[in-house]
Structures are given as C-alpha cells and as structure tokens.
Amino acid sequence: MDQRKYLQYSRLSFRRAGQEGPLTRLLPCTKEELKSHTPIEIQGVNTYVAPSFAQDSEHDDNYPPYNKPGAITHWLRFAEPEELYILIMDSDIIMRRPYLPEELKVRPGWAAAPYFDFLKGVTNELARTHLQGVEPRTDTNLGPKGRLADMAGAPYLITKEDLKMVAPMWSTFTRKAWNLTGDMHAMEAGQKPWIAEMYGYVFGAAKANVWHNPVDYFQWIYPGYFTSEPPSVLHYGLLFEVKGHGFAFDKAWFHDFDPQQCTPWDLSLDRPTAGLLPLPPSPSTFTEVTGPFLLKLLLAIEPLVVLNSALCEHHLTHCPISDQLLTECAKVAKLEQELDDAYDDLEPILRGTECKDQYPDCPGWEKTNQCVENPTMMLGATDLGPGCRKSCKRCHANDGIKTRERGHDEVLEDGSSQSRSPVQALLERHMSSRQSLAARIWANGVGKGSQGKRREPRPLPRLKKDLEDAMEVKKEASIGNVRLKLRRKRTSTSGQPRVAHLKVHVQGRSSGMMDVLKGPSQEQLSAEAVLQASLQRVKWLASCGPRIF
C-alpha cells in the first residue's frame, strides 16, 4: 500500500506458487505523488488508486502504514469486488504454495493468517484498554489462553463480508494502538512502532468477532530460519544471511534501487543501484549439509532468485536487448533452474527424515506447557534447529511434503518433469540468432533442460542411497516415451472459489492455452498407463497462476 519506487522490484511469483485469482494493486497517494509516479505496466494487473491516508489530522500524525487499512476500506466501498475471499499481502513476501479457502478452513467468522509471536499487546494493557467487552479466548489457536485478540499478521485470507466489518475498525485501532504495546518494537510509552498497523488489524478482527484457525507454524518463516517442512510463505522483511557462504541481504539496503532501468548496469557494486540484485550462492556449493539443514539454505537464497527472475522478465520484455542483459539474465535463469533441481533432489530425502526432538529436555518442557507458551522455538520455526516437534506431537506425515509447486513444469520425454521459467523462454527467443557470452552460458547450462535433457541429480553428502532409491522408483514409474509440449505452463483448475489478491504495488497475471499432443500407442503402455494417456489427450483452456512483477 505504498508507492515508493523500491517496492516495484519486490514482486512475488504467483506462477511458481500456483496461486489463482485476479490481482489488484492498491496505490494510495496524493495527487502530487501520483503525478511523479512512474508505474510498471503489467498485463492482467488491476491498479486501484486511492487517496493517501498517511496524514491523520485528528492526532496531528503522519504514519505511512495508515495507508494499508485506509486503502482497503476505500477499495471495498467503491470498487465492490465480486470475489468471496480476499488475500491481503505485503510487498516483501514470496508465495511458495497457494492459499486455498477450503484447505485453510476460511469461512464467515474465521480467517487464516500466520502466527506472530511478538504481538504481546494482545494480552496486556493495550488490549484491555481498547478491547473492552471482548471475551478472553479459551483456545490456543493463535496465541495463549486469555488473550483478547489473535497474534496474526499478513498474509491474511478472509471472507469479503468479514473484511468489510474489519477494515474500518482496522483503520480506527491503528490510530490508537501505538501506546503501551509491550513488545520489542516500542521501548517507551508513546513511541509509535511500525507494527501499530498490525495491532489495528487484530483488534479490528476481535471487535468484529473474526478469529483465526489453528496455526501451522511452518506456513510462514524468515529466510535463513530453520524449518522441518517447506513453508507456504517466505518473508524477507529483515536482514538475513546464507550462513557459511558469505552472503547477506536486507531490503533496506536497496531503498533507492531502480527496477526499471535498462542496461548498461554497474553490477560490480556490492549493492547495485539498478538492473539486478546481487546473485546468491549456487545450490551446488551447499555440499556440507542435507535434509532440513539443506532446506534452510535453499530457502535463504530463494527470495533473491525469484526477485531477479522477475526483474529479468521485465527487462527482457520492455528493454532493448543487449549482450549484458542476455548474459546476466542467463546467469539468473541458470540459478533458478539449479534451485528447482535442488528442491527436486531434496524432496525424497525430507520425506524420509525422522521426526525427533533436538534437545534432551524437550519432554520436560512439554510438561510445563512450553509447546503452547513458546511454540516458535518448541516447534522449530526459528534459526535454532528442529526444536521439540516429537514431544509437542507435531510430527506430520512426511509423504505429503512438497519442496516446490510444479504446476508449470515442462513434461519431458521420459515422463518426468522439469521447471522452465518465463525467463528461459524469453532467453531462448532472443539467443537463437546471437553468438554471445550469454548464448554460451545458455548452451552450457540451463538451456539443456528446456530441450528435454534432464540432468543427473546432484549427489548429496548424506543419505545418498535414499536419493538413488527414489530416483529408481521415479524411473520405474515412467509410462514410456511420452512427449508433452506446452505452449504455456498451466495451473490445474482446482475448482476452488475465486480469491481476490491485494498486493502492495506492482502485480500481474498471464494466461494461455496448454496443448497435450498425442502420446505413445496403446500397445506400448500398460493398462494403468493407458488410462493416464487417455486423460492426457485433452486440450485444456486454463489460466496460468497469477504472477506478481
């Protein structure tokens, strides 16, 4: 809900997450700010311009986060969206899995949101001052018993009708909630912490009698934190590092970064000011660990991989083609392919990882109710390690673990699949007639994948036999020489209710046709494979997952 220039590059890839639904960018600003604003135009994006709500004349205060609830209230009133569910997102998150109302059990009176343990104000004088008449909670869904509001933060998935009740009170409480927060963001009374807007939401929801379903503590994490399971959301709002590999990133370092500038770029700077962000280390260098500890490193580099891929897609579409552009974006595409391949190799290992406690004291801590009172540490959702999942009885079925979404993968000749990003397709188009360094990078790297040649899995230092067994099973499951050529990647039409997505600043969506060509003859297939091939000989008209630029 901000028009600052640096936010334009921090889009997410809904295509990678497989999220469906229209996307709306809320742009609250003054008339003067709008005149000086140069937006990135993205096909399929709805931009709603709202007045600026940053200035509060009643309290003689200026606080940019007022724009968030203010713009949402304005949009609901005047745009009248038709969708039944609304997903509200901040600019600094990477979506990894789709948010589905049925899966998250969103319904009237019940929303879904990640758990934020620093919202201590829901249990202290702040809540008691502003939430008189609200009954203390007796559950531990999103906070301790006795709280007056849930400890919830974005992204929020909520019904439209509930949001209509919550949004006006969200604005009202945000203006009142900066005193006595009792959290680490306000060190003295009267200080206005940046998270006052978060209190505005949870207080407004409590007053509207809207609560949040039991939380999955691995749904949302910071890059670089440990997690036993792949999360749905990565939030790169704070400084994070790829420990042991000399790489760190903080979005605040790139406040003046220009995401629209075409080449030439000076990428020799530690903190480039335009073009592309610094490239993180390659997954091929993560040879010292495997299992959840390798997952931690892969998740730490994913934000920079996705952001640079989004930037390359913009530059390759809107900028004059130069050798520097092709060379640098070939590096980005190669890194994106390596990340997806590493996730594919890791998935069978995670499925075979034993759920266990990290500390010998875990059983004792569980008896003192620490699983409820200190869930972030106990359930392994910090950078410390796996915590006490076994003692807390939070061992999930490993056979359902997915390291990434594959709705837009290309299906290869052997029946397996491989990721192929829009950047790869754009590079192929531009490199076909060029003899450049970029073309050589392409020919020796990621380009092979797009030609249907699956590279051998990278050997891992531990559990190598598990990986080999998994690859053998995958090989035996192949149904033969099936070649499916996709003009566009697709997201399966799930039949889920449509969800409107609100995103800070720039967003986009694309759609296209998927053609499944004729497969092998029935004589070449087993009875089971015949059924599968019959289902594949269909032409689908499907929209690709929404995509944020």
- Is pLDDT above 70 for 285? yes
Over residues 315-338, the mean pLDDT reads 92
Burial class (CB in 10 A: 0-12, 13-18, 19+), 53: buried
- Is pLDDT above 60 for 494? no
- Is pLDDT above 80 for 543? no
More confident: 472 or 538: 472
More confident: 532 or 359: 359
Over residues 72-89, the mean pLDDT reads 93
The pLDDT tens digits for 408-444 are 677 666 666 667 777 888 888 877 656 556 666 656 6
pLDDT at 509 (0 to 100): 29
- Measured between alpha carbons, how far is residue 327 from residues 264, 280, 316, 323 in Å? 12, 16, 11, 6
- Is pLDDT above 70 for 41? no
pLDDT at 476 (0 to 100): 44
- Is pLDDT above 90 for 526? no
pLDDT at 404 (0 to 100): 86
pLDDT at 248 (0 to 100): 94
Q: Which amino acid is at 296?
A: K
CB 181 within 8 A of CB 196: yes
CA angle 453, 456, 462 (to 5 degrees): 160
pLDDT at 43 (0 to 100): 56
pLDDT at 129 (0 to 100): 87
> What pairs with residue 517 in β-bridges?
none
In three state form, how does the secondary structure of 262-297 look?
CCCCCCCCCCCCECCCCCCCCHHHCCCCCHHHHHHH
- Is pLDDT above 60 for 2? no
Over residues 3-30, the mean pLDDT reads 66
The pLDDT tens digits for 152-166 are 999 999 999 999 999
- Is pLDDT above 50 for 260? yes
Over residues 213-219, the mean pLDDT reads 77
Over residues 4-23, the mean pLDDT reads 61
- Measured between alpha carbons, how far is residue 145 from residues 166, 307, 467 in Å? 22, 39, 44
What gap in Å lies between CA 491 and CA 511, rounded to an integer? Answer: 10
The SS3 assignment for 14 reads helix
Q: Which residues contact 378 (CB under 8 A, 6 or more apart)?
A: 362, 365, 366, 370, 371, 387, 388, 389, 391, 392
DSSP secondary structure string, 293-318?
HHHHHHHHHHHHHHHHHHHHHHHHHH
What gap in Å lies between CA 156 and CA 139, rounded to an integer? Answer: 20
Mean pLDDT for the chain overall = 75
Q: Which span out of 111-115, 393-397, 491-495 was modeled with the highest average pLDDT?
A: 111-115
- Is pLDDT above 70 for 482? no
CB 334 within 8 A of CB 441: yes
Over residues 119-126, the mean pLDDT reads 88
- Is pLDDT above 60 for 464? no
- Is pLDDT above 60 for 251? yes
What gap in Å lies between CA 149 and CA 205, rounded to an integer? Answer: 8
Over residues 230-247, the mean pLDDT reads 89
Over residues 520-533, the mean pLDDT reads 38
Over residues 179-195, the mean pLDDT reads 52
What gap in Å lies between CA 226 and CA 382, rounded to an integer? Answer: 5
What is the set of domains in the chain, with CATH numbers? 5-220 (3.90.550), 222-405 (no CATH)
Over residues 187-215, the mean pLDDT reads 81
- Is pLDDT above 70 for 477? no
CB 291 within 8 A of CB 463: yes
Q: Which of 202-206, 208-212, 322-326, 353-357 is predicted with the least confidence, judged by mean pLDDT? A: 353-357
pLDDT at 387 (0 to 100): 85
Q: State the distance between the two ends of the chain, measured CA to CA, in whole angstroms.
A: 15
Report percent pLDDT > 90 for the chain: 33
Task: Catalogue the E-assigned strands of 110-155.
Answer: 110-111
Burial class (CB in 10 A: 0-12, 13-18, 19+), 203: buried
More confident: 506 or 114: 114
> What pairs with residue 512 in β-bridges?
542
> Given the structure tokens 């640079």, which residue do they identify?
308
pLDDT at 538 (0 to 100): 28
- Is pLDDT above 60 for 335? yes
- Is pLDDT above 80 for 312? yes
pLDDT-based confidence at 277, cuts 50/70/90?
A: very high
pLDDT-based confidence at 225, cuts 50/70/90?
A: confident
pLDDT at 427 (0 to 100): 85
pLDDT at 381 (0 to 100): 67
Report percent pLDDT > 70 for the chain: 68
- Is pLDDT above 60 for 280? yes
- Is pLDDT above 70 for 64? yes
Over residues 378-402, the mean pLDDT reads 79
pLDDT at 440 (0 to 100): 63
pLDDT at 253 (0 to 100): 94
